Amino acid sequence: MNCPFCAGQGTVYASEDRFAVTSDSKLIADESTVSYCPRCGCFYRERRAAQPERIEKVYSEYDLYAPSGRGEARVAFDVSADGIPKSVRELDFLSRFADVPQKGRILDYGCNHGLFLRAFLERYPEWEGTGADIEERYRQSFAGHLPASARYCCLPHEEPGSGFDIICCSHVLEHLPEPAAALRDMASRLAPGGILFIQAVNPLLNPFFHVIFEQHHHFTPAGLRHVLELCGLHLRCINTDWIGKEIAVIAARGPAAGDVCSGLDMEATALQVGRHAESVRAVMAALARIAGSGTPVGIFGASIMGTWMASRLEGLVQCFVDENTALQGGRHLGLPVVPPDKAPAGLPLLCAMPEHMARKLLRRLGEVCPGVLIAPPFSSTPLGGSEGTSHED
């Protein structure tokens, strides 16, 4: 399949032949290939079979990011702390980098239950809020969270309107089959001088983004700028460290007013993508080797990557270890979730996170945890059999 943005030939990043994981951490059978277009800086998924019904089913059964265990994802500055609600952190970004006036109209495109909009209207009570999403079932919880003046709009049957001063689009672009068309649509709904506030996963900070089943596209920071420009928008501001593993963008209609984003280099991006693809291959090879060896293991991290790893180690995983107190004592995929200090002594624990994060975890918890923490690509003892691949960030 060719790149949906430029019709050019991409290169294969990773291929999945068994299971993927939904955004709310459920396993789902999947066969798909994720490719990268070096010209556009974007990833796109090709599915072996058309499966719109299966994707629709995933959305209709969606739990709000289940691993947080609290109804809303928390920002993990320190995974041992609770952090602050994500909607508040997003709002802080918007308040700091955009000039939000006293009054205006805001559309939250892909509003879910309306938690961001609620936080926004609490801070800016004179604004008029509209939330739009594709699920009728959000209408009731939206009404429960928000003031009566806020309107819920079920797409595509109901028209959200136009003339918005802010359109928020948080973790939506990845899920859309045609993100460019959606961006053009959003651009057309902006009032003169209005801004688009986008949040998206940063695939450069997590090589394993591709395991998420229902996401069609991923954008590197350089790729997101490129696609915005294709859609007649320009960047006012882009940030990759406000919320971990995410890109936050403020864009507006019209041509660029100057280069606010030096460092978004397509060539450097392609090199980094190549290194990530290599580390994904190394991890997949190591998991296959461990599965073949029959060694019992535990998985550190009961989130999306941990779920995906467990699917490749069927029958060998004894438990999940997680620092999230909301998950401890419960079960995930039928297995117990225990805190780090209660991990079985000597059990190899595969860290389900990018290598640089696992290295930090090893330094922080190596002494506390009775299990043996192992960072990706999982080639070290006691699992044996080093492949000799070197991996640097």
When binding is defined by CB under 5 A, the residue of 26, 39, 70, 391 that contacts Zn ion is 39
Kindly state the DSSP code that residue 212 receives in the 8-state scheme: B
Segment interacting with Zn ion, rule: CB under 5 A, options 37-45, 96-104, 250-258, 347-355? 37-45
Closest approach of Zn ion to the CB of residue 264, in Å: 15
Among 332, 343, 333, 337, which residue's Cα sits nearest to residue 374? 343
Q: Which of 237, 186, 218 is CA-nearest to residue 37?
A: 218
**Please, which residues have CB within 8 angstroms of residue 271's CB and are 6 or more apart in sequence?**
none
In angstroms, give the least distance from the CB of 266 to Zn ion.
Answer: 10
Residue 41 CB, shortest distance to Zn ion, in Å, is 8
Binding to Zn ion by residue 180, rule CB under 5 A? no
The answer to whether residue 36 forms part of the interface with Zn ion (CB under 5 A) is: no
The answer to the question of residue 326 lying near Zn ion (CB under 5 A) is no
Q: Which is nearer to Zn ion, 3 or 183 (CB)?
A: 3
- Identify the residue among 14, 20, 34, 37 touching Zn ion (CB under 5 A): 37
Q: Is residue 135 a contact partner of residue 125, using CB atoms and an 8 Å limit?
A: no
- Taking the C-alpha atoms of residue 203 and residue 209, their distance in angstroms, rounded to an integer, is 6
Report the residue number, 11 or 325, with the smaller CB distance to Zn ion. 11
CA 274, CA 338: separation in Å to the nearest integer? 35
Quickly list DSSP for 236-284. Answer: EEEESSSSTTEEEEEEEESS-SS---TT--HHHHHHHHHHHHHHHHHHH
Binding piece for Zn ion, criterion CB under 5 A, among 4-12, 229-237, 355-363, 383-391: 4-12
> For Zn ion, which is the closer residue by CB, 6 or 291?
6
> Interface with Zn ion includes 230 (CB under 5 A)?
no
Q: How many CA atoms lie within 13 A of 36 on its CB side?
A: 25
Work out how close the CB of 5 gets to Zn ion at its nearest, in angstroms, rounded to a whole number.
Answer: 4
CA dist., res. 82 & res. 324, Å (int): 8
Q: Give the shortest CB-281-to-Zn ion separation in angstroms.
A: 23
Q: Which one among 40, 235, 310, 327 touches Zn ion, defined by CB under 5 A?
A: 40
Q: Which residues bind Zn ion (CB under 5 A)?
A: 3, 5-6, 8, 37, 39-40
